[in-house]
C-alpha cells in the first residue's frame, strides 16, 4: 500500500512539472523552470539623463520675446527645434543663468528675466533647473528665493540653492523606478579673501547657508562638503548621482587644472556617476574617466557652452563666434533587475549633439532659435529662412574639434563620447552581470 502511495505522488509531481514546463502562459520551458525553481528572471531597463549648458536672458532676447499688443512674453519658439530631443530623455536638466525677481527685466550685468521664461523651459521638456551659477545673486537674497519659487511653480525641480536651511543641498528625482540624486555647485570669486563672494559681490549672511558654492582657491576644504552632500544623497537612496558644476574661466576652450582635479576626485572618492558643467560660455572637451576604485566609467562634460544667449560674433567679435555653440549632452544607463532587486547599473552610452543659436530678423525684431546640428540640419527651416546654413557649417566643425575630433558620430549626428560595447571590446574588460 505504501509503495502505491509513493508511486502516485511521484506521478503527480512529474505531471505537474511537465505542465509547468509546457504551458507557463506561453513562456518558454527554460524561463518557466527557472521561475518555478527559484532562479529569478532578469529585467533590463534603459534610462537616459540629458543636460544642456547656460540658458541666458540678455536684453535683446527678452525684447524679442515681448508682444506689445498683449503685454506678454513668450520664449517658446526658442526651443522649437530641440524640443523633441529634450522631451525624449527620462530626465532633462539645464542651467538657468538668470533670476526671477519680479522686477523690470534686465540683462547683463545684473540679470532678471520675465517669469514666462520659466514656463518656456518647462514647456521645452526640461525637468530640473540648476540655479547655482555666478549670477544667482544678481537681485540679492530675495531674487534667490523667488527664483526657486518661480521655477517650482512652473513644474521644475530646482537644485543649487534652497529657501530654508532645513532642506537638503541635493535634490532627488525618480525615473523608471530609479532614484537619481542631483548636486549642483558654482565657483566663488572669493580667492584668498575670507569673505565669500560671487562675481565679486559678497554673499549675504542670510543666504550663505542656502547657496551651494565652492572656492577654487580652497578646493580641498570645500570639496569635503560636496562629497558629504553626495554621501547624504546616497544614504537617502540615490542609485545614480549626477553632479553639475559651474566652473572654469570664461571663453577658455580647455578645462583648467582645478576642474580636472576636482572631476577626478569626485569620481574616485565620491563615486559620482555623471558630471555635467558649464560657465565658460564656450564648449570644452567631453571625456570618460575609468574609476578603478568604483569599477565604472564616468562621463565628464567640462563645459556644455551656451544653450541660448545673445553672445555671438556680432557683439563679441569673430574670435568669439564659439559663444554661439552648445551641446545636448546625454548619458544612458542600463538598469538590471533580478526579481524586485536592482542587481546592476551600468553607464552604456554618452553622447553630445552640437547645437547652434540662430539669430535673424523676423517681423521687425530678432528671432532666436536653437538649431540641433544633427545629420539633417541642412534642411532645418530656421537655417533656410535666415540663410545662415554656412554659419552652422562652421559651428559644427568647431564643435567637433573641441568636444573631441577623435570621436565617431552616429547616424543621427550625435558625437559618441562612450559606447560600452566598443569599450569592452577595446579594453578587454567585461562588466559582470
Among 58, 158, 154, 156, residue whose Cα is nearest residue 105: 58
Q: Residues with Cβ < 8 Å from 3, sequence gap 6 or more? A: none
Angstrom distance (rounded) from CA 20 to CA 14: 10
Positive or negative, the CA dihedral 381, 387, 388, 390 is positive
Average pLDDT estimate for 339-364: 96
Phi, psi of 365 (to 5 degrees): -145, 170
Which pLDDT value is given to residue 35? 43
24 or 275, higher pLDDT: 275
pLDDT, tens digit, for every residue of 372-418? 999 999 999 999 999 999 999 999 999 999 999 999 999 999 999 99
Phi, psi of 109 (to 5 degrees): -95, -10
- Sequence-distant (6+) residues with CB within 8 A of 417 are 286, 287, 288, 299, 350, 351, 352, 403, 404, 407
Instruction: Tell me the helix, strand and coil percentages in the chain, rounded to 5.
Output: 35, 30, 35
User: In this model, does residue 200 exceed pLDDT 80?
Assistant: yes
Between 219 and 8, whose confidence is greater? 219
Q: How far apart are CA 248 and CA 278, in angstroms?
A: 8
pLDDT of the residue at 427: 78
Neighbours of 347 (CB within 10 A): 22
Looking at residue 91, its pLDDT comes to 98
Tell me the three cell numbers of residue 257.
587644472
What is the distance between the alpha carbons of residues 147 and 352, in angstroms, rounded to a whole number?
29
DSSP state at residue 314: H
Residue 197 confidence (pLDDT) above 70:
yes
DSSP conformation class of 169: S
Task: Give me the phi and psi of 218, to 5 degrees please.
Answer: -135, 50
**CB 244 within 8 Å of CB 183:** yes
Mean per-residue pLDDT for 230-247? 98
Q: Are 280 and 250 in contact (CB under 8 A)?
A: yes
pLDDT bucket at 10, cuts 50 / 70 / 90 = very low
* pLDDT tens by residue, 84-124: 999 999 999 999 999 999 999 999 999 999 999 999 999 99
* Tens digits of residue pLDDT in 259-296: 999 999 999 999 999 999 999 999 999 999 999 999 99
What CATH number was assigned to the domain covering residues 42-427? Answer: 3.60.21.10
171: DSSP letter: E
What own/partner pairs with CB < 8 Å and gap ≥ 24 does 260-264 have? 261/219, 262/219, 262/223, 263/289, 263/300, 263/302, 264/289
Mean pLDDT of the chain: 91
Query: Omega before 52 cis (within 30°)?
Result: no
The model's pLDDT over 221-238, given as tens digits with 9 standing for 90+, comes to 999 999 999 999 999 999
Pairing of strands 274-278, 171-175: unpaired
Calpha distance 62→66 (Å, rounded): 6
10 Å CB burial of residue 261 (0-12, 13-18, 19+) is middle
Per-residue confidence (pLDDT) for residue 327, from 0 to 100: 98
Q: Any idea which residue has 527645434 for its cell?
A: 81
Amino acid at each position: 500500500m505504501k509503495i502505491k502511495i509513493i508511486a502516485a505522488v511521484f506521478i503527480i509531481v512529474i505531471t505537474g512539472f511537465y505542465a509547468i514546463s509546457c504551458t507557463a502562459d506561453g513562456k518558454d520551458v527554460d524561463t518557466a523552470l527557472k521561475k518555478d525553481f527559484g532562479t529569478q528572471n532578469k529585467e533590463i531597463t534603459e534610462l537616459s539623463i540629458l543636460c544642456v549648458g547656460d540658458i541666458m536672458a540678455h536684453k535683446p532676447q527678452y525684447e524679442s520675446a515681448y508682444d506689445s499688443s498683449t503685454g506678454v512674453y513668450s520664449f517658446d519658439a526658442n526651443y522649437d527645434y530641440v524640443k523633441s530631443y529634450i522631451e525624449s530623455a527620462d530626465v532633462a536638466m539645464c542651467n538657468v543663468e538668470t533670476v526671477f525677481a519680479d522686477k523690470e527685466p534686465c540683462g547683463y550685468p545684473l540679470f532678471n528675466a520675465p517669469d514666462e521664461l520659466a514656463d518656456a523651459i518647462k514647456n521645452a521638456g526640461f525637468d530640473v533647473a540648476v540655479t547655482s551659477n555666478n549670477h544667482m545673486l544678481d537681485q540679492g537674497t530675495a531674487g534667490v528665493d523667488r527664483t526657486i519659487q518661480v521655477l517650482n511653480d512652473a513644474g521644475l525641480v530646482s537644485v543649487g540653492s534652497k529657501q530654508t536651511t532645513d532642506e537638503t543641498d541635493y535634490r532627488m528625482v525618480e525615473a523608471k523606478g530609479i532614484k537619481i540624486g542631483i548636486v549642483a555647485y558654482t565657483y566663488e570669486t572669493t580667492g584668498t579673501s575670507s569673505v565669500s563672494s560671487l562675481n565679486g559681490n559678497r554673499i549675504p549672511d542670510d543666504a550663505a547657508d542656502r547657496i551651494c558654492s565652492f572656492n577654487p582657491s580652497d578646493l580641498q576644504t570645500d570639496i569635503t562638503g560636496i562629497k558629504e552632500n553626495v554621501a547624504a544623497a546616497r544614504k537617502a537612496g540615490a542609485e545614480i548621482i549626477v553632479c553639475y558644476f559651474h566652473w572654469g574661466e570664461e571663453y577658455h576652450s580647455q578645462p583648467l587644472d582645478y576642474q580636472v582635479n576636482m572631476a577626478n576626485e569626485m569620481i574616485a572618492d565620491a563615486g559620482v556617476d555623471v558630471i555635467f558643467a558649464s560657465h565658460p560660455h564656450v564648449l570644452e572637451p567631453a571625456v570618460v574617466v575609468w574609476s578603478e576604485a568604483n569599477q565604472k566609467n564616468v562621463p565628464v562634460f567640462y563645459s556644455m557652452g551656451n544653450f541660448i544667449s545673445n553672445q555671438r560674433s556680432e557683439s563679441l567679435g569673430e574670435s568669439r563666434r564659439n559663444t554661439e555653440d552648445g551641446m545636448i549632452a546625454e548619458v544612458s544607463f542600463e538598469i538590471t533587475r533580478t526579481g524586485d532587486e536592482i542587481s546592476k547599473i551600468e553607464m552604456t552610452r554618452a553622447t553630445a549633439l552640437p547645437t547652434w543659436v540662430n539669430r535673424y530678423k523676423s517681423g521687425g525684431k530678432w528671432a532666436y532659435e536653437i538649431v540641433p546640428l544633427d545629420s539633417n540640419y541642412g534642411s532645418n527651416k530656421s537655417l533656410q529662412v535666415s540663410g545662415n546654413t554656412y554659419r552652422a557649417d562652421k559651428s559644427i566643425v568647431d564643435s567637433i574639434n573641441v568636444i573631441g575630433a577623435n570621436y565617431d558620430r552616429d547616424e543621427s549626428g550625435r558625437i559618441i563620447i562612450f559606447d560600452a560595447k566598443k569599450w569592452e571590446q577595446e579594453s578587454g574588460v567585461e562588466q559582470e552581470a
